[in-house]
Amino acid sequence: MTLKFHIVWFDDQPHNLQSIKEGIEQHLGRKGLDIEVEWVKTFGDIPGLLQGLRNKEERVDLVLMDWDLGRDDDDKKVNGADLAKRVRNALKYTDIIFYSAETPKVLRQQVAERDVDGVYCANRNDLVDQAVGVAFRVARKSLTLESIRGAYVAYATELDHLLTESLQMLDEKMTEDQSSTLLADAVKRIRSSVESNQAQLDRLDVSTIGDLLKKPRLFDSSQRLQTLIQALAMLEDELDARSFSDTLSTYQNDVLDHRNVFAHQRAEFKKGKSKLRFAEGFELTHGEAEKLRSRLRDHRSNLDELYDRILRHGA
């Protein structure tokens, strides 16, 4: 499982749907899901469109389909109910929500006349609630605690790579004195953490932060996090980086500490509900997992913005 949920949205006027799109993103975002919307708003090559859907069937989690889709390149009216039937043939097991300003009863009649299975019908005003309900039902199949644990570790690893790349770029933008200070402090932290293992210390022959980043067993995620925070403090005024550092200050607890123990716990059932219990007394229930997914999204957003800020700095 990933934290992404991919929606293919058929509507010829997406600019009129931004508030609905934002409502869906906000509701599912609170569940810890990142919504990716792929708009389909022109219908000149429907066979090509359908083939494209078949090629990425596994990536499509939900289809939203308007009834009135305007006109195609030949100025013929495009009926969403007709297209829904063709989309169903291309995506046999993907849920479809068919909507318009009409009542669900009228829409169900349109779908029934075309013998299309697996279609929900909704009035446009109820589309947020309907889409959120269906989306969470689809996602929930992958949101067992066992799946969440694996997804958490995988997602946290992606964040770790992004953190590492950000640190590398920051070091490259520093003055020689700043880079030397950063390296000396990083080496000092490593020596302190592994001072009992002289063999590892003997191999600690580095001259740049880049050299350290090539030694992940010595320069681990926690060390890289501390060094990144230090680098941001050194360049705080140039990068306006205070907000990034504030969010990173909770990264150890929100991401690394949980990642380090998730792989060693078994799920247990209590009163019909699955839980992961940790030695520290913390229980990972579905409610807690939802909060953790949301925090991961926040840290991903923070690191993405930081990465872009560093790229633009001095460009």
Q: Kindly report, residue by residue over 16-50, the tens digit of the pLDDT.
A: 999 999 999 988 887 777 889 999 998 888 899 99
Q: Kindly report, residue by residue over 225-250, the tens digit of the pLDDT.
A: 999 999 999 998 888 888 999 999 99
Instruction: Mention every residue, 6+ apart, whose C-beta is less than 8 A from residue 275.
Output: 145, 267, 268, 269, 283, 284, 285
Q: Kindly report, residue by residue over 257-278, the tens digit of the pLDDT.
A: 877 766 555 555 555 555 555 5
Domains and CATH numbers, the chain: 4-140 (3.40.50.2300), 145-312 (no CATH)
* Of the listed ranges 96-100, 109-113, 182-186, 287-291, the one predicted with least confidence: 287-291
Residue 3 has pLDDT above 70, yes or no: no
Which among 119, 129, 104 has a CA at the least distance from the CA of 20? 129
Residue 87 has pLDDT above 90, yes or no: yes
What per-residue confidence (pLDDT) applies to 1?
A: 37
User: Nearest 5 degrees, angle CA 86-CA 119-CA 83?
Assistant: 25
Q: Quote the percentage of the chain above a pLDDT of 90.
A: 48
What per-residue confidence (pLDDT) applies to 2?
A: 46
Per the CB < 8 A criterion, the answer to whether 312 and 304 are in contact is no
What per-residue confidence (pLDDT) applies to 265?
A: 59
Query: How confident is residue 116, by pLDDT bands cut at 50, 70 and 90?
Result: very high
Q: Quote the percentage of the chain above a pLDDT of 70.
A: 82
Query: How confident is residue 75, by pLDDT bands cut at 50, 70 and 90?
Result: confident
State the Cα–Cα distance between residues 189 and 186, nearest whole angstrom.
Answer: 5
For residue 10, what are the β-bridge partners? 40, 65
Work out the mean pLDDT of the chain and round it to a whole number. 84
For residue 54, what are the β-bridge partners? none
3-state secondary structure 83-148: HHHHHHHHCCCCCEEEEECCCHHHHHHHHHHCCCCCEEEEEHHHHHHHHHHHHHHHHHCCCCHHHH
What per-residue confidence (pLDDT) applies to 253?
A: 87
What per-residue confidence (pLDDT) applies to 139?
A: 76
Q: Kindly report, residue by residue over 194-212, the tens digit of the pLDDT.
A: 665 566 666 667 888 988 8
Output the CA torsion 261→262→264→266 (10° steps): 140
